């Protein structure tokens, strides 16, 4: 069994793809999760234009984009499909309105993403640890009830440690 050692590139979110690829490869990683956020080089607003080029630059440096950390909007799904990035990772946020409301909101978000997941053949994954508490882990479990989830650390083509959400 072989593993693709990957790093979340949030600390270097402002770097262009070629520079980030050289940095990531230079510190010994062969995979990267790319933040696609308003504060990053690739943003949700420019993802369709920038993500394919950015991903190509990473690959030129020997770094495979394993996922993006972003939202589940259609432009991000379309950009990932065009760039060959197989997964979008989100966090199951717990809002100030309480646990039950947060679970409902996250379940609705995941349900809306099912159609986009199927249309673009890009998976969505939900980080189940958003602070390391049992309460937050159980929020993930409640959000994903009714979905098939897979989770592994190594040895699958997806090489992800986050549960992948798909329709049952």
Alpha helices in the chain (DSSP H): 17-26, 47-60, 74-83, 99-120, 134-144
Q: What mean pLDDT comes out for the span 65-71?
A: 96
Averaged pLDDT of the chain: 81
CATH top class, domain 6-167:
alpha beta
**Residues 24-56: tens digit of each pLDDT:** 999 999 999 999 999 999 999 999 999 999 999
**Residues 89-124: tens digit of each pLDDT:** 998 888 888 888 888 888 888 888 999 999 999 999
Q: Could you tell me which residues come within 8 angstroms of residue 129 by beta carbon, excluding any fewer than 6 positions away?
A: 136, 137, 140
A 10 A CB-CB count for 97 gives 10
* In the chain, where the domains are located: 6-167
For residue 107, what pLDDT is reported? 85
Beta 123-127 vs 31-35: how paired, if at all? unpaired
**Residues 120-168: tens digit of each pLDDT:** 999 998 875 445 443 444 444 445 545 444 443 332 333 334 444 444 3
Confidence of residue 15 (pLDDT cuts 50, 70, 90): very high
How many CA atoms are closer than 13 Å to the CA of 108, on its beta-carbon side? 6
For residue 91, what pLDDT is reported? 84
């Amino acid at each position: 069994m072989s593993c693709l050692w990957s790093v979340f590139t949030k600390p270097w979110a402002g770097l262009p793809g070629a520079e980030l690829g050289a940095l990531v490869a230079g510190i010994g990683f062969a995979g990267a999760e790319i933040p696609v956020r308003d504060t990053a080089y690739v943003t949700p607003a420019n993802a369709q234009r920038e993500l394919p080029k950015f991903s190509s630059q990473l690959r030129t440096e020997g770094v495979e984009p394993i996922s993006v950390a972003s939202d589940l909007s259609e432009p991000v799904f379309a950009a990932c499909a065009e760039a060959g990035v197989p997964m979008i990772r989100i966090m199951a946020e717990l809002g100030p309105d309480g646990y039950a409301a947060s679970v409902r909101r996250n379940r609705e978000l995941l349900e809306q993403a099912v159609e986009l997941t199927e249309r673009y053949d890009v998976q969505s994954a939900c980080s189940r640890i958003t602070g390391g508490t049992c309460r937050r882990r159980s929020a993930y479990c409640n959000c994903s009830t009714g979905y098939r989830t897979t989770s592994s650390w190594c040895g699958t083509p997806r090489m992800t440690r986050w549960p992948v959400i798909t329709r049952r």
